Amino acid sequence: MTDLSNPVPSTPPRSQWLNVWDQFKTHKGALWGGIIFLLIITTVFLGPYFWSLEATHIDIRARNQGPSLSHPFGTDQLGRDTFARMMAGGRTSVSVGLAAMLLALFLGSFVGVVAGFFKRLDGPLMRLTDLFLALPLLPLLLVMMMLFRDPLNAAFGPERGIFILIVGAIGITSWMPTARIVRSDVLALKEREFVLAARSIGTTNTRMITRHILPNVLSPIMVSATLGIATAIITESALSFLGLGFPPDFPTWGRLLFDATDYLQQYPERVFWPGMAISLTVLSVNYLGDGLRDALDPRIRGR
Amino acid sequence: MLTFTIRRLVLAVPTLLFISLVIFLLLELAPGDPMAQVPLTVPPDVKEKMREALGLGEPMHIRFWKWLVQFFWIEPQVLVDHMFGTSFSQGDLRVISWQTRSPVMDIVIQRIPQTLWVVGTAYIVGILIALPIGIYSAYRQYSWFDQAGTFVSMVGFSVPPFFSGVLVIVIFSVNLGWFPSIYDTTHVVNDWDSFVVQLKQMIMPVMVLALQITAQISRFMRASMLDNLNQDYVRTARAKGLSEQTVVLVHVLRNSMIPVVTVIALAVPAVFGGAIITEQVFKVNGIGQLLIGAIQANDLPMVQTLAFIFAVLIVLFNLIADVLYGILDPRIRYE
């Protein structure tokens, strides 16, 4: 007999996500990474509403200034406010990172779930993944930029066209790790009893995937999402840095860094801000992913 | 072991064919005309002849076949001729660059030594730094050294080479003036002084590349050591009374090196890819810079060849990693 003197549990029931949050909090690096990443996102997206200077406003008399109260990061060779340009650039860089990550995540989870769940498709889809992994990605990305830039610019306008191109190119070249991880998890899940039970009451395949498989592979997907943002931001900056990304007057962090290298001798501090922004964002996202991996792993959690 | 190697080799052929097809189709289906630069005053029939001279007149599958023949049959012959003074390739058409009108492979051969020097040195330096760091951080897990190592490798992952490269230029060439910011490839090493100059100009690109390699490999080394340090055979070795040094550096290290060696082999192509950016930062005129230049000049044969060379590197080093793993760890050798 169980002890009936206290039939009502003294502690309220805890959801799984509360446990995850408790574990996440113990990882100091991840907590700080998350805070800094949120801070960067809010500054970049909400900052322009509070900062009166436009990123494209040219004030030629105030050019090449150092940091001051009105221009905390100084101004560039045309007198544009570097702080405003950093926020505008960050908006593009972070949006590209998020959008490319979502695309890669969707493709990767789709391929992974389908390959793991349907035995017939496993072989071909995994061979496809292997072939994609053998492609030289950076050269191919550069080639894609060169070839499809003009037609897409003509179709969607210079900024949106290149945005679609960069997001698409990064998305379809970075889904493979997610697909592999998701597939291996799905393969293991398929042998579990709850899937057998669901099967025995006549659950259809679609229902099985959306209701039983997907929620259970959520944690590897979330971890690769954070790491995906980091790689996407770095790739976008690399393309812009090589002069094959966004057009010159359209700021992104990579583009700002590229423009600043021309003034390396005179104003070396100018390369510092965009480079720091890229590195800090990627570092915080990497720490966030590290902590999420620990927090979402039930074997580590609660120890 | 031989059948294992042969099976991997045979599997590599369709992979390479698929990749060459992807690269070919990507360039083929892309909008954009290589004849767009020709002035409008040139009459259409002359334009048509120019198009044929560039090899653009024929259907797609024939051109793909011709490109394969040129790349896999004629270019190796040229290499053999070059080495042994024979004349197999006399009169054969080679892959011609649209930029310089000279054979693509000749230019690539000129550029490869610079890339190999920088990338190769960086790789060796990176590995030599990474292995001791990985071993010691695993041996003293969660010590301050381990924490610092984790932080440094996180930084190495997060700071892209186009920032770390520019940063070291600002610090060491602009402010301190110790090293030149531009890599001079015409520099010839023939005595001690010129060797010092060469060393000085190599330090910065090598350090930038080595930081990334170190970050990656020290993490792998640490994880692999940690897996092995808690194994039963380690306890047995200690129980036998072997010295701590022998236990860690002979018994554990040898077993931990198995996955690390394959990672080292697998990461080589990625380093070549990453060197594209580093070469651009330090103005090293290696194959990475050649690729960027060719892309900007719309030089399709050059781009095709270079992209394919990168693909060959990836497939080759995957193969090497597989075979190495088979040699080092007999357990995974499924015949």
* B297/A contact by beta carbon, under 8 A: no
Residues constituting chain A: 303
pLDDT digits over B21-57, tens only?
Answer: 888 887 777 665 666 666 777 777 887 777 777 666 6
Sign of CA dihedral B325, B331, B334, B335: positive
Exposure string for B166-186, b = 16+ CB within 10 A, e = fewer? bbbbbebbeeeeebbbebebe
**Given an 8 Å threshold on Cβ–Cβ distance, is B273 in contact with A142?**
no
With tokens 């229902």, the residue in question is A207
> pLDDT tens digits, chain A, 303 residues: what are they?
555 666 676 777 777 788 778 777 777 778 888 888 888 888 888 877 777 767 666 766 666 666 766 666 677 766 677 777 888 888 888 888 899 999 999 999 999 999 888 888 888 888 888 888 877 778 888 888 877 777 777 777 777 888 888 888 889 888 888 898 888 888 888 888 888 899 899 888 888 888 888 888 888 888 888 888 888 888 888 888 887 777 777 788 888 888 887 777 777 777 788 888 888 888 898 888 888 877 777 665 654
Structure tokens of A183?
């597939």
Residue B305 reports pLDDT greater than 80: yes
CA atoms within 13 A on the CB side of B167: 14
CB-based contact A279 B160, cutoff 8 Å: yes
Question: What's the sign of the alpha-carbon dihedral B165, B167, B172, B177?
Answer: positive
Phi, psi of A81 (to 5 degrees): -70, 120
Residue B135 reports pLDDT greater than 80: yes
Is residue B89 predicted with pLDDT exceeding 70?
no
B162·A237 Cβ contact <8 A: yes
The closest of B272, B275, B271, B267 to B317, measured between CA atoms, is: B267
B280-297 pLDDT, tens digit each: 888 888 888 888 888 877
First-last CA distance in chain B:
7
Interatomic CA distance for residues A82 and A256, integer angstroms: 9
CB-CB under 8 Å, B31 with A279: no
Q: Do A146 and B303 touch (CB under 8 A)?
A: yes
Do B268 and B313 contact (CB within 8 A), yes or no?
yes
Question: Does B109 score more than 70 pLDDT?
Answer: yes
**Mind telling me how many Å the CA of B314 is from chain A's nearest CA?**
6
B295 contact residues in A (CB cutoff 8 A) = 142-143, 145-146, 244
Q: How far apart are alpha carbons B140 and B137 in whole angstroms?
A: 5
Q: Which two tokens stand for residue B47?
A: 């334009």
pLDDT bucket at B128, cuts 50 / 70 / 90: very high
Looking at beta carbons, which residues of chain A come within 8 Å of B169? Answer: 264
Tell me the average pLDDT of chain B. 81
Please enumerate in sequence order all residues whose Cβ is within 8 A of that of B39, keeping only pairs 6 or more positions apart, or say none.
none
Indicate the pTM of the whole model. Answer: 0.82
Provide, as residue numbers in chain B, all residues whose Cβ is less than 8 Å from the Cβ of A289. none
Question: How close is the nearest chain B Cα to the Cα of A184, in Å?
Answer: 19
Whole-number pLDDT of residue B76: 75
Q: What is the per-residue pLDDT for A203? A: 87
CB atoms under 10 Å from CB of B9, counted, come to 12
Q: How far apart are CA B159 and CA A243, in angstroms?
A: 19
CB of A282 within 8 Å of a chain B CB? The answer is yes
pLDDT digit string, tens, across residues B220-274: 888 888 888 888 888 888 899 888 888 888 888 888 888 888 888 888 887 887 7
User: CA of B86 to nearest chain A CA: how many angstroms apart?
Assistant: 34
| Whether the Cβ atoms of residue B284 and residue B185 lie closer than 8 Å to each other | yes
